[in-house]
Amino acid sequence: MTAAQRFERAVSLMHAGEHRASLDIADGLLSENPRDARANLLSARMLHIAGRHAEARRRLDGIAVEGHPERERLENDIRVMREFGLFQEAFPRDAAIGMARARERAPAHLRAGAVADAIAAALRERRGFSLIRIGDGEGAFVSLGAEDEARFAALYAHNRRDRAQIWFGGAVDPNADPWISQARTITDAIAEADIVGLPYPSWLEHEYRIASITGISALTNALRASRATNGHTCTQLIHVELHNAGLIQDLLRGQRTIGLISCHQELTRLLPEAFGIADIEFHHVPGEKGHDHLLPDSATRGEHWPTRYRQIMADLSSRSLHGRLFVVAAGILGKFYCNQIRRAGGVAVDLGSIADGWVGIVSRPGMSADLHLSRTARPSAPPNDPPSDLALGAFVRDILESGSKTALDGSFVAEIGDLVDQHSTRIMAPEEMLAEAYQPDRRRLLDYRCGTGGWRQAIEGMGYAWRGVNYLAGMAEGVRAEARAETGIDFYDGTALPYPDSSFDVVFSFQVFEHVHDPRGALPEIARVLKPGGRLIGSVSYLEQFHDYSTFNFTPYGLKLAAQSAGLRLSRVYPSYDVFTWMGRRLLIVTRSRDDNKLSAMLSRENVIHEEFLKYGARMGHTPAEINLIRLMFSAHFSFLITKPDRGDGSHDADGDASRSR
* pLDDT tens sequence across 550-590: 888 999 999 999 999 999 999 999 999 899 988 988 888 88
Mean pLDDT (the chain, rounded)? 87
Query: pLDDT value at position 550?
Result: 83
Looking at residue 629, its pLDDT comes to: 95
The CA distance from 580 to 627, in Å, is: 17
Dump pLDDT digits (tens) for 140-169.
Answer: 999 999 999 999 999 999 999 998 888 788
SS (H, E, C) 618-636: HHHCCCHHHHHHHHHHCEC
Q: Mapping DSSP to helix (H, G, I), strand (E, B) and coil, where does residue 16 land?
A: coil
Q: In this predicted structure, what is the pLDDT of residue 1?
A: 76
Q: Which amino acid is at 246?
A: G
Q: Helix or strand or coil: residue 234?
A: strand
Tell me which of 12-16, 97-101, 600-604 is least confident: 600-604
| Number of Cβ within a 10 Å radius of residue 1 | 9
In this model, does residue 380 exceed pLDDT 90? no
pLDDT for the residue 290: 65
CA distance 241 to 73: 42
d(CA 546, CA 541): 10
As a whole number, mean pLDDT of residues 528-551 equals 91
Residue 628: pLDDT over 50: yes
pLDDT at residue number 601 = 63
Residue 129: per-residue pLDDT: 96
Q: Is the pTM above the cut of 0.75?
A: no
| pLDDT for residue 455 is more than 60 | yes
* Rounded Cα distance, 92 and 111, in Å: 28
Instruction: Say what the pLDDT of residue 378 is.
Output: 33
* Residues 6 or more apart whose Cβ sits within 8 Å of residue 160: 140, 141, 174, 175, 180, 183
Burial class (CB in 10 A: 0-12, 13-18, 19+), 87: buried
CATH number of 410-649: 3.40.50.150
At residue 660, the pLDDT reads 34
pLDDT of the residue at 449 = 92
Strands 325-328 and 257-262: parallel
Q: What is the pLDDT of residue 233?
A: 95
User: In the prediction, which pLDDT does 360 show?
Assistant: 82
Q: Which has the higher per-residue pLDDT, 368 or 375?
A: 368
Average pLDDT over residues 208-212: 92
Rounded to an integer, the average pLDDT of 204-220 is 94
Looking at residue 109, its pLDDT comes to 92
Instruction: Give the CA radius of gyration of the chain.
Output: 26
> What's 565-584 look like in SS3?
HCCCEEEEEEECCEHHHHHH
**Model pLDDT, residue 365:** 56
- Asked if residue 656 has pLDDT above 80, the reply is no
547 — phi, psi (to 5°)?
Answer: -160, 140
What 8-state DSSP symbol labels residue 442?
A: B
Domain map (residue ranges) of the chain: 3-90, 94-371, 410-649
Q: Which of 624, 601, 604 is nearest to 614 (CA)?
A: 624
3-state secondary structure of 641: strand
Percent of the chain whose pLDDT exceeds 90: 59
Average pLDDT over residues 307-322: 94
Euclidean distance between CA atoms 367 and 394, whole angstroms: 11
Q: According to the model, what pLDDT value does residue 60 have?
A: 95
* Cα distances (angstroms) measured from residue 152 to each of 222, 223, 344, 576: 15, 17, 36, 36
If pLDDT is split at 50, 70 and 90, which confidence band does 330 have? very high
- For residue 376, pLDDT over 50 is answered with no
Which CATH class for the 3-90 domain?
mainly alpha
Average pLDDT of the residues in 516-525: 88
Among 26-40, 99-113, 396-410, 590-604, name the one with the lowest average pLDDT: 590-604
Query: Which of 328-342, 361-375, 388-402 reaches the highest mean pLDDT?
Result: 328-342
Structural contact between residues 229 and 108, judged by C-beta atoms closer than 8 angstroms: yes
Q: What is the pLDDT of residue 43?
A: 96
- Name the amino acid, one letter, at 91: F
